[in-house]
């Protein structure tokens, strides 16, 4: 069994088809990460509807430039997450972004939201699914102030220094279909030990013009097996064990 630990499943129009295609290639569990205040209810709804979908709730760092109301909605979002603490497997997608968010005036609000989400993860004892693009230093400087059960860095593309620091701290790193063309993703796979790798589609993000889907993690899996020189059988067991360690709740239902 393969598990897609970071997908924006609520954004697909034909979700039945997406799940069917995923199952065909052995992808049996999908963590659907929330992004915006408006999408969280939908993430919960599809996880009730489809047994292979597991919800993770949080506010994406780009929300500060998508939604002018986010600061006012923050308490409501926190309440919604607390209310659903038994049903969710993680807090995410959360983090900081200084790459797609260019307006520095938004950075203090982005940090405020991130810290609120980390506090929530600490309080609810849930792992986090993190976005760090262009803000690796600040994210890595912020994390030690919180007691979080486990950390996953999604689609890492920063410098080798922070990659090494994350490895030293025992963070997990999830690998996207960008492994087929991105030197940064390939480097992450080579440097992170097999006990800390996970699979993700980040769908419906596009890869080389093609809409990303959970089924694509089958190819990611094959690439990791090749780069790390680990047999498919061994790697499948390993990745499943890793997923169980960081996101135990998706194995409970
Ligand atoms: Zn994402």
Beta-carbon contacts of 234 under 8 Å, excluding residues fewer than 6 positions away, are none
In a domain, 209, yes or no: no
Residue 188 lies in a domain: yes
Q: Quick: pLDDT tens for 125-148.
A: 999 999 999 999 999 999 999 999
How far, in Å, from the CA of 238 to the mean position of ligand 1?
A: 23
pLDDT at site 110: 97
- Decide if 211 is inside a domain: no
pLDDT at 29: 98
Please indicate, yes or no, if residue 210 is contained in any of the structural domains. no
| pLDDT for position 154 | 97
Distance 201 CA to ligand 1 centre (A): 9
Instruction: Say what percent of the chain tops pLDDT 70.
Output: 100
- Per-residue pLDDT tens for 28-72? 999 999 999 989 999 999 999 999 999 999 999 999 999 999 999
CA 12 to ligand 1 centroid distance, Å: 13
Q: What is the pLDDT of residues 170-228, one digit of tens each?
A: 999 999 999 999 999 999 999 999 999 999 999 999 999 999 999 999 999 999 999 99
- On whether the CB atoms of residues 186 and 179 are closer than 8 A, the answer is yes
Q: At what angle do helices 70-83 and 107-124 cross, to 10 degrees?
A: 10
Average pLDDT, the chain: 97
**How far apart, in whole angstroms, are the C-alpha atoms of residue 42 and residue 86?**
17
Residue 32 belongs to some domain of the structure: yes
Say how many Å lie between the CA of residue 7 and the centre of ligand 1.
Answer: 6
Domain count, the chain: 1
Domain hosting 52: range is: 2-204+216-251
Cα of 219 from ligand 1 centre, angstroms: 19
Going from the Cα of 100 to the center of ligand 1, the distance in angstroms, rounded, reads 13
The average pLDDT across 156-183 equals 97
18: in domain: yes
Q: Domain for residue 61, yes or no?
A: yes
The strand pairing partners of 63, in sequence order, are none
What CATH number is associated with residue 176?
3.20.20.140
């Amino acid at each position: 069994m393969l598990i897609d630990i970071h997908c924006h499943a609520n954004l697909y129009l034909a979700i039945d088809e997406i799940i069917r295609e995923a199952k065909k290639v052995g992808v049996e569990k999908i963590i659907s990460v929330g992004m915006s205040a408006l999408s969280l209810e939908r993430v919960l709804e599809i996880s009730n509807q489809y047994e292979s979908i597991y919800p993770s709730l949080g506010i994406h760092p780009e929300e500060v430039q998508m939604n002018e109301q986010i600061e006012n909605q923050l308490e409501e979002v926190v309440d919604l997450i607390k209310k659903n603490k038994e049903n969710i497997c993680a807090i995410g997608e959360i983090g900081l972004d200084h790459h797609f968010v260019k307006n520095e005036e938004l950075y203090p609000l982005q940090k405020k939201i991130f810290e609120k989400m980390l506090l929530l993860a600490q309080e609810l004892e849930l792992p986090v699914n993190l976005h760090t693009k262009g803000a690796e230093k600040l994210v890595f400087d912020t994390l030690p102030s919180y007691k979080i059960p486990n950390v996953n860095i999604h689609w890492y593309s920063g410098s080798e220094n922070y990659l090494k620091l994350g490895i030293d701290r025992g963070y997990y790193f999830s690998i996207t279909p960008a492994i087929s063309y991105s030197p940064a993703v390939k480097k992450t796979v080579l440097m992170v030990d097999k006990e800390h790798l996970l699979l993700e589609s980040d769908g419906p993000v596009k890869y080389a013009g093609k809409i990303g889907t959970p089924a694509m993690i089958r190819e990611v899996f094959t690439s990791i097996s090749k780069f790390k020189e680990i047999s498919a059988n061994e790697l499948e067991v390993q990745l499943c064990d890793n997923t169980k360690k960081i996101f135990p709740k998706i194995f409970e239902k």
